[in-house]
Amino acid sequence: MKVIGIVGSPRKNGNTNILVQQVLEGAAEAGAETRAFILNEMNYKGCQGCEYCKSHDKCNLEDDLTEVFDELASADGIVLGSPIYFGQFTGQMRLFLDRCYSLINADFSPRLPAGKKAVVIETQGDLNPETFKNVCEEFAGQISGVMHAEVKDILVGVGYHLPGEVKDNIELMEKAKNAGLNLFK
């Protein structure tokens, strides 16, 4: 089994990344090969709307997302995480999601093989876990439809502002680890 993590946070050691790494650690303990991609460290553009991907089997842009899409195609599991900035996932994650347009055919059917399992992670400063629930639900729907993945778990970390604060939430850290351990059960 292979599980990849995609981190939409600009903070390399931030709360989102910590939770993604925790899920990947659990997946590794369950026997999966794991790898993480930090979008903020990658060089890529947003979708250009050129429609090249509708007559070809890939995006026309050759940048750092080319490797991510190759890994997505062969992955059995996907962990996607982003903090909420200004009521939505980060710009880094939004650009990535726009580029996922290349993962669907002209008739909007998914190109990725079915059967992938996914975990969605969202962190936020707001203390109310319901505040951005619609953002997570929309995101999970995109993962399900475009990436042809079954969303097994949605983890929401609330009230975090400073990098690393999530480590103090033992319950959430355990839940993240268990999400990885149980991803294929």
* 1 occurs within a structural domain: no
Range of the domain at 109: 8-181
* 121 occurs within a structural domain: yes
Average pLDDT over the chain, rounded to an integer: 95
What is the mean predicted confidence (pLDDT) over 134-142?
Answer: 90
Question: For the segment 52-76, what is each residue's pLDDT rounded down to a tens digit?
Answer: 999 999 999 999 999 999 999 999 9
Residue 2, pLDDT > 90, answer yes
Predicted pLDDT of residue 77: 97
Ramachandran region, residue 159 (left: φ > 0; alpha: ψ -120 to 50; beta: rest): left
Residue 145, pLDDT > 90, answer no
What CATH number has the domain bearing residue 22? 3.40.50.360
Distance of CA 91 to the CA centre of its chain: 13
Question: For the segment 161-185, what is each residue's pLDDT rounded down to a tens digit?
Answer: 999 999 999 999 999 999 999 999 9
* 2 occurs within a structural domain: no
* 165 occurs within a structural domain: yes
* 77 occurs within a structural domain: yes
What is the mean predicted confidence (pLDDT) over 144-162?
Answer: 92
Predicted pLDDT of residue 16: 98
* 137 occurs within a structural domain: yes
* 113 occurs within a structural domain: yes
* 3 occurs within a structural domain: no
Q: Cβ(143)–Cβ(107) under 8 Å?
A: no
Amino acid letter, residue 157: G
- β-pairing verdict for 88-89 and 77-85: antiparallel
Residue 147, pLDDT > 90, answer no
Burial per residue of 74-105, b for 16 or more beta-carbon CB atoms within 10 angstroms, e otherwise: ebbbbbbbbbbbeeebbbbbebbbebbbbbbe
The structural domain count of the chain equals 1
